[in-house]
Each structure stands twice: as C-alpha cells, then as structure tokens.
Amino acid sequence: MPYVAPVAAVPECPVDQTLKMLSGKWRLTVLFRLAEGPKRFNALQRSLAPITQRVLTATLRQLEEDELIWRAETNDVPPSVTYGLTSAGSALAPVFEALATWGVRRTGRGRSAPE
C-alpha cells in the first residue's frame, strides 16, 4: 500500500467561523431586534412572531452561551427576564446596518437598521 502523508490542518476561514456562530433560522433576527435595545422576553417574542416560545428560548440560550447577548432576571413576582446585546453582540451593528442598506436598495422597501 502506498504511503499517504498526513494532511496538515488548514485553519478555518474567519468568515466560516462567523457564519457558523450566526447560523440558524432566528439568530440574526433576534440579534437585530436586540440591537434596537434591551427587551423583555414577551416583547421580544411578539416582535419576532411567529417564533414559538420553545424556539426563542433555545435561540436565546445559544446566543448567551456564545456571549453575544446578556440575560438579566429580576426577583419580582412574577419574575421578569430582560435580554440585551453584549459588547460582542453590539459589534455586529455595522453588519446589520450594511444588511439593511443592501436590502432597501435591493428591494426598494424596508426599514433601516437600528443605530
């Protein structure tokens, strides 16, 4: 059998790494909505209709794990939970602005990105 040299590990492209972190049906939309400012869970869910509570909860947990959002819970009765962008999540604002600008130019309609 002929000798096969081991293949050196190729470093992953930064764009691929970023796309993996942001991939998912709702991730970018949740981040875009939170770029408008911190939101309580129910307000966020209403702004993302028709997302289900289960899917939103899972998406928020993933984004929190990736340190793109923060979560604050109060001890009120009933407790309230607020979500917002971390500095890493806020760093995506220029990306949202570019996507919104591209979308408006491409479709001729839509709203601008949050500032």
pLDDT digits 0-9 by tens, 73-91: 998 888 899 999 999 999 9
Dihedral angle over CA of 21, 26, 31, 33, nearest 10: 170
Question: Is 112 within a domain?
Answer: no
Range of the domain at 93: 19-104
Question: Is 5 within a domain?
Answer: no
Question: Is 39 within a domain?
Answer: yes
pLDDT digits 0-9 by tens, 24-48: 999 999 999 999 999 999 999 999 9
Residue 69, helix vs strand vs coil: strand
pTM listed for this prediction? 0.80
**Which CATH number does the domain housing residue 36 bear?**
1.10.10.10
Provide the pLDDT for residue 10.
Answer: 66
Look at residue 52 and tell me whether its pLDDT is greater than 70: yes
Residue type, 106: R
Residue 83, token pair as written in the block: 């979500």
- Name the band, by pLDDT with cuts 50, 70 and 90, for residue 61: very high
Query: What is the total count of domains within the chain?
Result: 1
Question: Is 29 within a domain?
Answer: yes
Question: Is 52 within a domain?
Answer: yes
Q: Hey, which residues does 111 pair with through a beta bridge? A: none
